[in-house]
């Protein structure tokens, strides 16, 4: 029986950042991953020689001194990473009906661009963008409370959060912006948390908008580059990472009433028992407590779990095309395609759609990863990743009613390929003749590879009562058992990574700032995705070599 200081169940961004923090602190750490590669949603995979990253499409706050920059420097992996800056003039392209509106990087640039397009809303745009910045910064203020004076002045320093914090995104934006099209543009990033404006927590959406306000960035090498840098440093600090082996259960001591009071070990699917002083689960709450066993949970935990809602699930399309995308006016910016109708109606329709009745995909997030990461472009083939949301229960029940799930599932995927090509043809004319491969990820895929409850893509649903102080805490009420990941602090690569830092800090009884102090020798390298003019020579040569290898292979 092996014994460690810390066991981390799951190797998503949160689990890996926790493992790295603990390993650097001298703890004996092991990461256990049921998939055959580490990374969770951050992992990458290859089909036909092309790389796809299902959970990493863009990252914000990468510039000097911002959140992602501080994180990667603090973890000691910044020197290993290179980021490409997505089109600063339009890192978000809003395709709303027949309208085409770009969101540029930088709050002042956003104001100028939207004011020029909606001059009658100039005053409201200024006030709304300032409110978003105020609320997001005040959320950060809450985490910095240290002294009595901090507590005394907190009410004043978080006055905007206090005034607007209990309202939905739809209400607050409606008070500031009246133009329906502009409301849709400013709400387009609802897709990054999967809730309609009427259901979204305004403070949570502010934090998300602030994360991306200075633009979007993409890691060279896709999500796998972040995973590789973390796993390399975990191993370098003595940590172990085991893949392809699932955890069967979390072993606990119980009290006289049979309630779990202390986590002591895990049992693997192969029967091996691994003991630890501390256990961190990077699985979502339902999956975590299933490992503990519901029969061992106290009433309060059971009640919270029974009320917990999970985020939307998705359909993901992984496509390779033999086309010159830039010649068609496409660039590194994301495309958010939605109908020109009330956004709450758009989300409600997605939730209730019957996949077999679909004849067109009307709402899509379109990501050109070979334009975001030019080093992945082989000179001939481009990679497109497309996401649309789907209701898990509708998806499962429709297939299960068929009587033969596997046959219905195969038929479903074939049907989806047909309507995808039909839908894309309207967006990129001629694409149907140039598609080399299409693979599809469904809610079933999400369950199988990343063990997400109901195929959810963002952990718990990010409504008001499941975020901030109402989210699942890092430290559970079972001694020595902790959680990290999208359901504890925030979702997304950076949110999940910070949750791992928080869990590690709780175990080491220090602050998160203590975990991320670095000697100043770390630097993130950032280059423009759409303009190679200022690339260093080594990067230009790397791009040339990539294309040369493809020519030789062809």
Between CA 138 and CA 420 the distance in angstroms is 42
| Tens digit of pLDDT at every position of the chain (554 positions) | 899 999 999 999 999 999 999 999 999 999 999 999 999 999 999 999 999 999 999 999 999 999 999 999 999 999 999 999 999 999 999 999 999 999 999 999 999 999 999 999 999 999 999 999 998 888 776 666 566 545 555 555 677 777 787 889 999 999 999 999 999 999 999 999 999 999 999 999 999 999 999 999 999 999 999 999 999 999 999 999 999 999 999 999 999 999 999 999 999 999 999 999 999 999 999 999 999 999 999 999 999 999 999 999 999 999 999 999 999 999 999 999 999 999 999 998 887 777 777 888 999 999 999 999 999 999 999 999 999 999 898 888 878 887 888 898 998 899 999 999 999 999 999 999 999 999 999 999 999 999 999 999 999 999 888 988 889 999 999 999 999 999 998 899 999 999 999 999 999 999 999 999 888 899 999 999 999 999 999 999 999 998 888 877 76
Domain identity same for 157 and 254: no
Q: Six-digit token pair at 242?
A: 């085991």
Residues 6+ apart with CB under 8 A from 322: 380, 381, 434, 436
Domain identity same for 334 and 427: yes
Q: Six-digit token pair at 384?
A: 């497109």
Strand ranges across the sheet with 82-85? 217-219, 82-85, 525-528
Residues 6+ apart with CB under 8 A from 25: 504, 508
Of the three residues 152, 182, 215, the one that is the final residue of a domain is 215
Q: How far is CA 480 from CA 251, 254, 258, 305, 469, in A?
A: 11, 13, 17, 20, 21
Domain identity same for 234 and 348: no
Residue 441 maps to a domain: yes
Between CA 472 and CA 253 the distance in angstroms is 22
Domain identity same for 164 and 255: no
Q: Count how many residues are written for the chain.
A: 554
Domain identity same for 436 and 502: no
Domain identity same for 481 and 356: no
Partners of 253 in the beta sheet?
A: 262
Q: Six-digit token pair at 210?
A: 């602030």
Residue 360 maps to a domain: yes
Q: How far is CA 311 from CA 452, 459, 462, in A?
A: 10, 6, 7
Its pTM surpasses 0.85? yes
Backbone conformation region of residue 433, classed left if phi is above 0, alpha if psi is from -120 to 50, else beta: alpha
Scored b (16 or more CB within 10 A) or e, 280-313 reads bbbbbbbbbbbbbeeebbeeebeeebeebebbbb
Residue 470 maps to a domain: yes
Scored b (16 or more CB within 10 A) or e, 324-351 reads ebeeeebbbbbbbbbeeebbbebbeebe
Scored b (16 or more CB within 10 A) or e, 127-164 reads ebbebbbbbbbbbeeeeeeeeeeeeeebeebbebbeeb
Of the three residues 181, 215, 249, the one that is the final residue of a domain is 215
Give the range of the structural domain holding residue 482, as residue numbers without chain letter.
Answer: 2-83+220-307+461-515
What per-residue confidence (pLDDT) applies to 71? 97
Its sign, for the CA torsion 357, 435, 96, 137, is positive
Scored b (16 or more CB within 10 A) or e, 37-53 reads bbbbbbbbbeeeebbbb
Residue 510 maps to a domain: yes
31: domain CATH number is 3.50.50.60
Residue 144 maps to a domain: yes
Inter-residue contact 262 to 269 (CB < 8 Å): no
Identify the residue whose tokens are 């036909």. 48
Of the three residues 150, 183, 215, the one that is the final residue of a domain is 215
Domain identity same for 316 and 435: yes
Domain identity same for 319 and 440: yes
Residue 113 maps to a domain: yes
What per-residue confidence (pLDDT) applies to 478? 98
Domain identity same for 185 and 282: no
Domain identity same for 176 and 239: no
Domain identity same for 425 and 365: yes
Q: Around 477, how many Cα atoms within 13 Å sit in the side-chain half-sphere?
A: 11
Structurally, the chain folds into a number of domains equal to: 3
Domain identity same for 318 and 288: no
What per-residue confidence (pLDDT) applies to 352? 73
Residue 543 maps to a domain: no
Between CA 15 and CA 9 the distance in angstroms is 7
R_g over Cα of the chain = 23
Residue 319 maps to a domain: yes
Identify the residue whose tokens are 């709402």. 363
């Amino acid at each position: 029986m092996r014994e460690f200081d810390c066991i981390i169940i799951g190797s998503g961004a949160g689990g890996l950042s926790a493992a790295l923090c603990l390993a650097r602190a001298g703890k004996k750490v092991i990461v256990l991953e049921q998939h055959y590669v580490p990374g969770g949603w951050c992992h990458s995979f290859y089909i036909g020689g092309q790389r796809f990253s299902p959970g990493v499409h863009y990252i914000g706050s990468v510039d000097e001194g911002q959140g992602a920059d501080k994180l990667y420097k603090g973890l000691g992996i910044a020197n290993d990473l290179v980021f490409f800056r997505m089109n600063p003039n339009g890192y978000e392209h809003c395709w709303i009906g027949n309208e085409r509106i770009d969101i540029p990087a930088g709050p002042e640039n956003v104001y100028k661009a939207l004011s020029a397009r909606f001059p009658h809303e100039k005053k409201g745009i200024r006030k709304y963008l300032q409110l978003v910045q105020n609320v997001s910064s005040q959320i950060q203020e809450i985490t910095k409370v240290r002294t009595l004076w901090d507590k005394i002045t907190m009410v004043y320093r978080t006055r905007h959060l206090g005034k607007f914090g209990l309202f939905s995104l739809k209400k607050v934006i409606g008070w500031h912006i009246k133009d329906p099209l502009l409301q849709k543009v400013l709400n387009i990033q609802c897709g990054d948390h999967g809730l309609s404006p009427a259901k979204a927590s305004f403070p949570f959406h502010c934090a998300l908008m602030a994360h991306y306000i200075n633009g979007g960035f993409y890691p060279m090498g896709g999500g796998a580059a972040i995973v590789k840098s973390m796993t390399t440093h975990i191993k370098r600090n003595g940590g172990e990472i085991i893949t392809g082996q699932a955890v069967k259960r979390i072993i606990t001591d119980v009290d006289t009433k049979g309630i779990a009071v202390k986590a002591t070990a895990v049992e693997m699917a192969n029967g091996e028992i691994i003991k630890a002083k501390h256990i961190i689960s990077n699985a979502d709450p339902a999956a975590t407590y299933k490992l503990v066993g519901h029969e061992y949970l106290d009433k309060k935990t059971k009640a919270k779990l029974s009320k917990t809602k999970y985020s939307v699930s998705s359909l993901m399309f992984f496509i390779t095309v033999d086309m010159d995308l830039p010649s068609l006016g496409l660039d590194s910016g994301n495309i958010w395609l939605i109908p020109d109708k009330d956004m709450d109606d758009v989300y409600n329709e997605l939730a209730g759609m019957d996949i077999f009745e679909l004849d067109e995909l009307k709402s899509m997030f379109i990501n050109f990863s070979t334009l975001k990461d030019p080093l992945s472009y082989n000179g001939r083939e481009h990679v497109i990743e497309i996401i649309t949301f789907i209701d898990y229960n509708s998806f499962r029940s429709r297939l299960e009613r068929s009587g033969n799930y596997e046959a219905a599932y195969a038929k479903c995927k074939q049907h989806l390929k047909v309507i995808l090509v039909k839908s894309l043809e309207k967006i990129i004319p001629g694409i149907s003749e140039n598609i080399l491969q299409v693979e599809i990820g469904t809610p079933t895929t999400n369950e199988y590879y990343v063990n997400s409850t109901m195929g959810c893509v963002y952990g718990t649903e990010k409504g008001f009562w499941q975020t901030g102080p109402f989210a699942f805490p890092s430290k559970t009420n079972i001694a020595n058992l902790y959680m990290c990941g999208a359901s504890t602090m925030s979702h997304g690569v950076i949110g999940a990574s910070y949750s791992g830092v928080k869990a590690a800090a709780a175990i080491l009884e220090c602050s998160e700032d203590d975990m991320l102090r670095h000697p100043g020798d770390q630097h993130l390298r950032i280059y423009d995705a759409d303009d190679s003019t200022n690339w260093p020579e080594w990067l230009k040569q790397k791009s040339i070599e990539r294309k040369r290898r493809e020519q030789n292979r062809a």
